[in-house]
Chains A and B, each alone.
Chain A
Amino acid sequence: MRDLGIDVLFKGSNMLRLLEGLWVSMRISLISVVISMVLGLLVGALMTRKSKVVKWFTRIYLEIVRVMPQMVLLFIVFFGTTRVFGWNIEAEKAAIIVFSFWGTAEMADLVRGALISIPVHQYESAAALGMTELQTYVHVIIPQTLRRLIPLSINLVTRMIKTTSLVMLIGVVEVLKVGQQIIEANRTSSPNAAFGVYATVFLLYFIACWPISMLSRYLERKWC
């Protein structure tokens, strides 16, 4: 069998460097996920309000995020603002800003959908039992909303983790970039390194996302 180019991983500290790269990816995505979840809950709750102004603003926000490729957003925040506003945002911070901006919009839309999917009769039957609005939300509406939300939002989390591979384009040295560096550095000594390294990167992403995906499936089965 031909050389699969796996040997480079055991040269020097290559494997450790890849893992460090993975940590950068995970750090960016986890911070963005936390920010998105919190802001998304708030914005999502806002979206169910009747106010026209609020509806209009959240609508525009959501549309921008929907039509704009994340890469374009990354370039605007990282390269664009430097010249125009003179801001010098670190690449990793720029990435977190963009991913939170994107994640918040998607999360808010999920929250909105989950909230409006609770039938109005649920509110009424709670009211008919003499429950206050607060009691109704705490014991009846929010638990049901969360149940609908968790599988969907976990899906979003895995998508955010995957999409962080874009941040190498603004110079963040994350797992994919480290992989490229290793391949470049070993071009002559192990020409087949591309296969072994990228396969390892694939495996690392899989190890990061798969348990989350399994958790979502488990929760869906248990709660739906």
Chain B
Amino acid sequence: MVLIMADELVKIDHMTKKYDENTIIEDLSLTIHEGEVVVIVGPSGCGKSTLLRCINGLEPIQGGSITFRGESIDGKSKHINEIRQRIGMVFQSYELFPHKTILQNITLAPIMVQKRKKGEVEKEAEELLSRVGLLEKKDSFPRQLSGGQKQRVAIVRALCMHPEVLLFDEVTAALDPEMVREVLEVLLSLAEQGRTMVIVTHEMSFAKAVADRVVFLDHGEIVEEGRPVDFFEHPKTERAQKFLNTFTYDKVEKAK
């Protein structure tokens, strides 16, 4: 595959994130280009989710900078809501609004925040729902859906805002194994459409399939990054090798 490095969309520059005295991410730099799918992997607690939350201004940072098309991302600034409209985020626990129907969940922000016409938004929401196979659920409430269905709705809800980049924070981690696939297939089809995505995941075979670039994070720093074939087949660093080994099991040798 030929990678055409288009415009820089998100630029993280020497960023540091601390919780009180604990440094979660130290001096991290990463650039996401338009049309690129970046998958972030790493052991639990390595700071992957925190990094994603920083990109959306949900976490304040203590050093360096994060910019989106040159505009600074700062959770406290007045423009943050305008920037967030252009950055879609899907969470591990879906977080649909329980008191609204599926259709209302999707159309709320486009109507309230972007002031778009109700009819037009609903039409688009229905189209997107039918693409993920959930059109008949549009008048249901979130509690009537399975985890995988809720997560697909959450993805549609993010898409309906026409974001320029999508952030996925371990979107299958809370799902039963048989539901993981239906969600990941939605992500794969989004990648095929050429959308810019940053995906945090523990699903290694999926990461391999979807990523243009894999970033391996450990103890809050980028240990290794590269094309998925290189990273998964020939990890350069020992830490990455050790991490990837945790996903394979040796055949049990029974004592004779």
Contacts and interface: CB of A to CB of B under 8 A. Distances in A.
Q: How large is the interface on B (under 10, 10 to 19, 20 to 34, 35 or more residues)?
A: 20 to 34
A130 B58 contact: no
Contacts of B58: 124, 127-128
Interface string A128-166: 111110010001100110010000000000000000000
A128 B89 contact: yes
B101 to A, nearest CB: 13
A125 interface: yes
Contact of B84 (A121, A122, A129, A143): A129
B91 A125 contact: yes
B112 interface: yes
A140 B113 CA distance: 13
B82 A130 contact: yes
A202 to B, nearest CB: 38
B95 A129 contact: no
B85 interface: yes
A130 B98 contact: no
A128 B97 CA distance: 13
B234 interface: no
A147 B99 contact: yes
Contact of A130 (B93, B95, B109, B154): B109
B95 A139 contact: no
Given A143-B99, A144-B99, A131 B91 contact: no
Contacts of B114: 130
Contacts of B93: 121
A139 B91 CA distance: 19
A66 B113 CA distance: 44
A139 B112 contact: yes
B97 A130 contact: no
Contact of A125 (B82, B95, B112): B95
Nearest to A124: B58
A61 to B, nearest CB: 31
Contacts of A125: 89, 91, 95-97, 154
Interface residues of A, number: 19
B98 A127 contact: no
A140 B112 CA distance: 12
A203 B111 CA distance: 51
B81 A132 contact: yes
B97 A131 contact: no
Contacts of A121: 91, 93, 95
A127 B84 contact: yes
B151 interface: no
Contacts of A144: 97-99
B56 A140 contact: no
A109 B217 CA distance: 44
Contacts of B81: 127, 130-132
B213 interface: no
Interface string B142-167: 00000000000010011001000000
Contacts of A128: 56, 58, 84, 87-89, 91, 158
Interface in A74-133: 119, 121-122, 124-132
B227 to A, nearest CB: 30
B108 interface: yes
Nearest to B109: A129
The 3 lowest CB-CB distance pairs between A and B, nearest first, are A130-B85, A129-B109, A125-B95
13 contacts: A122-B95, A125-B96, A127-B81, A128-B158, A129-B85, A129-B108, A129-B158, A130-B81, A130-B84, A131-B113, A132-B81, A139-B108, A144-B98
Interface of A: 119, 121-122, 124-132, 135, 139-140, 143-144, 147, 223
Interface of B: 56, 58, 81-82, 84-85, 87-89, 91, 93, 95-99, 108-109, 112-114, 154, 157-158, 161
